[in-house]
Amino acid sequence: MNASWLARPLPRAAGTAVLASVLAVTASIVVAASSDAASGSLDLSRSGKLFPGRAAVGALFTTRRGRLAWHFCTASVVHSPGGDLLITAAHCLSGHKLPIEFVPGYSRGKAPFGTWRVTRIFRDRAWTATRDADDDVAFLSVRRGRGAARLESVTGAERLGTGWAARELVQVIGYPDAASRPVICQNWTTRFGARGMRFDCGGYPDGTSGGPFLAHVSRSTGRGSVIGVIGGYERGGDSPEVSYSTTFGSSVRDLYRQATDGS
């Protein structure tokens, strides 16, 4: 284990036993065909699988001397009037300062859709004040450069889904710290507490925080409605086998309006 990896703040809590489990799970993950992921014909309810990725989901990177350093969380493009908005978990930004770069579709060290700099971070005041797990959501504005195309026109975008039931069939995508490709799994969510969802599937270690819970995924585009992100209870979960999210309601709608208004 190199020192720089150990020095990073972990989005999901990990003790010695959990870390060993993370490494074991990551080592056993199997490659999934991209055609299966896009078609929606996934049968991954027991363990997530590494796959080539999707354009509208990517990794968040720290930078060093103007270059990408390491990825630490997951984010996805969500439809907005400006075409430049991401959604992730609020706890992903704890301990990280700008500049942060978003790499959509990141796979095997490549950035097929370029890199996009995070310019603004929007978090609920309740999260900022108390770190309430039910408010563990953040929106990020991004920009590539003067005169560049908007992100959404390059990658497409997920729809923001609020007011959904706690039990839904979803695909969850995330970037493990120790992998150069994302992991994907499909399963039903279950209710967790008053405002949460639970997702049972192995293969989601540190780094997958912020990954989208995608419902009603299109067979042709691979895009759907993001109804949650890995976060909330235990910052998304304290083992790779179980992940959590807050259910998206009025507070997420209000935060989205704030982000799209730029206020």
62 with 152, same domain? Answer: yes
Is the domain of 15 the same as that of 94? no
Does 63 share its domain with 149?
yes
CA distances from 44 to 53, 187, 197 (A): 15, 7, 18
Secondary structure class of 143 (helix, strand, coil): strand
Question: Mean pLDDT over residues 20-40, rounded?
Answer: 37
Q: Tell me, yes or no, whether 41 and 106 share the same domain.
A: no
3-class secondary-structure state, position 120 = strand
As a whole number, mean pLDDT of residues 185-200 equals: 95
Whole-number pLDDT of residue 12: 55
- Tell me which residue range forms the domain holding 204: 3-53+158-249
**pTM attached to this predicted model:** 0.84
Residues 172 and 215 in one domain: yes
- Based on the structure, what is the number of domains in the chain? 2
User: Cβ distance 140 to 258 under 8 Å?
Assistant: no
Q: What is the pLDDT of residues 196-216, one digit of tens each?
A: 999 999 999 999 999 999 999
Does 229 lie in the same domain as 239?
Answer: yes
**Amino acid letter for position 162:** T
- Neighbouring-strand partners of residue 170: 187, 215
Q: What backbone phi and psi angles, to 5 degrees, belong to 18?
A: -65, -40
Q: What is the CA radius of gyration of the chain?
A: 16
